[in-house]
Structure formats: structure tokens, C-alpha cells
Amino acid sequence: MTPIIKRAAGSDQFKVTLAIAGAHLAEKFGSSAGEIVQENIAIDYAIATKPAGESKEQMIAEISLLLTEFTAVLRREKPDYVFLLGDRYETYAAAMAAFFFGIPIAHSGGGNKTAGGCIDDTVRHLITKLASLHFVTCEENAANIRRLGEENWRICNSGSPVVETLLTEKLYSKQELQEMLAINWKLPLILFTQHPISTAPEKAGSQIRESLSALAELGLPTVVTYPNADAGSDRIIQEYKAFDQSENLFFHKHLGRKLYLSVMKHCAVVVGNSSSGLLETPVFHVPAVNIGDRQKGRVRSTNVIDAPHDKEAIKAAVKKAIFDEAFIQQVKHCPNPFGNGETSKIILETLAEKRTCPALLTKTL
């Protein structure tokens, strides 16, 4: 969201009001609110909730609270648009509030398709049906939104805002990362993130155990970041504590956007089940090992190796990503399917053009 917010804030056509919630404010998950402020972005509303962490009941309670809080924000601000990114359940709460208030929703990140048993897919499509304008990261996702019955004029292939950040922002060098994180560049570095599958939180502990065991046995330096706040995340964090004596695993609650992307740029491989392994790594021509089915069916480049939740399979996939010369050459030439770095410009021009469109809130099938 950063390039979109900054471009809008610097324009005389837009007034930006930013509301944040969920893990942005949760110390347990590293609290990224300070990072937003460091980017010179003003936070107008900080909505504190208790992230789901362990149970579906907590997730439902958080959605209910967020719906009430977002409604109060919208009543006060009366915006022309509500701009939302992604497929989090917190985002869905904001979408419901905006929809029933009759405020057009502009949604970035719709049309992604996964088949790994994650509720994100359904939530994403629900937001699509509530939204008036759809900013997609690639043409395949635009086609998916058309199949959901959305009119073509509502859909814009803007590319990914993250890709814009990767292509335009000056990231940290290897030397700077060595000083900040005490990284030993003599060995290949692994960047690891694994989230729970929201429909099967009870499996999160056993699944992360397979991954951490594989990484520990490989013996390569590994930067491990915390999971998202979905149900099952507590089980992952408990397993992190069981492995915190591993000499090659370095745990971080929240690296922050710039530091995380800098590590990605210079690492040997990204491992886990985060969408960043598919979306962002092609820009840097870095290989990714995608574990399990969480990202199954999502658009990807040719730099991705899939592996099940199995220690030996994960080890084999990581070794291939780092040491297989044929695969390394393939990764060097992998295409980036997710935009050319002009996402914020495309989005703001479209929002300005469509603002007075009388059909924004009148949807047909």
C-alpha cells in the first residue's frame, strides 16, 4: 500500500485517511505501526483488537469488533472511496462496513486463486463481490474476476504495489544487512515464513515442526519471521520456542517491510507458504520453495519449487533451489508476471476518472 498512499498524499486530487488494525498493532506479532510512521505516513485511526491467534471463535469476535469500529470511522469521514488491499478477514470487515454504508470500494489483489484449504480464497472473492473497482496484479486474475460476474469496465490490471516498491525503493546492501542482522554471507542464506492454514489450525504445530526440523538439519543460516495472526499461529510460535536454541535459526517477530525485502533480495532462497514467495521473488530472480497447499493454484513464475509438509522433501527442495545449476539458470531468467512498477499511478488515475461514474454502486451480473 505504501506507494499508493504516498502518491495520493502528494496529490491535490486526493485526501488520504488511514485506518489500521489487527497485527499492525499487536506486539505479539511485531507491531508494524511504528514502521508506517517511519515512512512519514500519518495514521488517522488505530483500531486495537485481539488477534485470533488460536481459535476461530476469536477470529469471529475480532471481525465483529472491527465491523463496529470501521462503521464509526466511515460515519465520521464519509469518504468517496474505501481502498482495500488483499484478503485478510480484517479487510473483509472493512468491506462489509463500506458496502452497507453505500461507499464505493476499490480493491487491490482480487482474482487470486488458491486451492489449499485457506479461507483467504473465499474472503477474497467476497470482497470482490462487494467492491466497485478491481485492481488486479496480472491478466489471469482479471479473467478470474470476470468469471465471478464482474463487468469488464470495473477491472484494471494495475500490477502489484509490492512490485512497484521492489523496483523503485533503495533497499539495504549485503554489508548493511550484515551489520543489522549479523548475517554471515559465507554461507547461503535462507529466508523463511510459514503461516497456519486457517481451515486446519490444529495442524499448524506439526506442519511447522517438519519445516523447522528440515531447516535445522540443513545447517544453513536462516532468518525466520513470525506467522500472521490467523487461528493456529500460537501453535507455530510455541514451536519456535522449542527451536530457539538452534544455532542456524534466527527468529524475528517483525523485520519490517524494507528489511524483509532487503533480505529477500540477497538471500539464496525463500522458503515457506507465504504469498511473498510467489509474488515478490521473481523481481529479484530469487528461488522459492513453496511448502504445502496454502498457495496451491496461485499464479507463479518459473522460480518456484513445491514441497509437501515433510522434512526430507523440504530439505531436497531447498538443496535443489540453492545448488542445482540448471534450476539456478532457470531462475535467472524467470519472468515477473505482476506489473512494471507503475501500479500507484495507474490506480490513482483510474480512481480519479471513475469517481463520478453513476454506475459505481449499481452492479449487474
Residues 113-130 have pLDDT tens digits of 876 656 778 899 999 999
pLDDT in tens, 315-359: 999 999 999 999 999 999 999 999 999 999 999 999 999 998 989
Given this chain, do its domains 2-160+339-354 and 170-332 carry the same CATH topology? yes
Model pTM score: 0.81
- Greater pLDDT, 12 or 23: 12
- CATH code: domain 170-332 is 3.40.50.2000
- CATH code: domain 2-160+339-354 is 3.40.50.2000
Question: For residue 116, what pLDDT is reported?
Answer: 61
pLDDT in tens, 291-323: 999 998 889 999 999 999 999 999 999 999 999
- Residue spans of the domains in the chain: they are 2-160+339-354, 170-332
- The residue type of 199 is T
For residues 45 and 19, the answer to whether their CB atoms sit within 8 Å is yes
Q: What's the burial of 30, exposed, middle or buried (CB within 10 Å: 0-12/13-18/19+)?
A: middle
Question: Using H for helix, E for strand and C for coil, what is the string for the chain?
Answer: CHHHHHHHHCCCCCCCCCEEEHHHHCHHHCCCHHHHHHCCCCCCEEECCCCCCCCHHHHHHHHHHHHHHHHHHHHHHCCCCEEEECCCHHHHHHHHHHHHHCCCEEEECCCCCCCCCCCHHHHHHHHHHHCCEEEECCHHHHHHHHHCCCCHHHEEECCCHHHHHHHHCCCCCHHHHHHHHCCCCCCCCEEEECCCCCCCHHHHHHHHHHHHHHHHHHCCCEEEECCCCCCCHHHHHHHHHHCCCCCCEEEECCCCHHHHHHHHHHCCEEEECCCHHHHCHHHHCCCEEEECCCCCCCCCCCCEEEECCCHHHHHHHHHHHHHCHHHHHHHHCCCCCCCCCCHHHHHHHHHHHHCCCCCCCCCCC
Question: For residue 86, what pLDDT is reported?
Answer: 86
pLDDT in tens, 242-276: 998 899 999 998 898 899 999 999 999 999 999 99
Question: For residue 35, what pLDDT is reported?
Answer: 75
Q: Calculate the average pLDDT of the chain.
A: 91
- Greater pLDDT, 159 or 22: 159
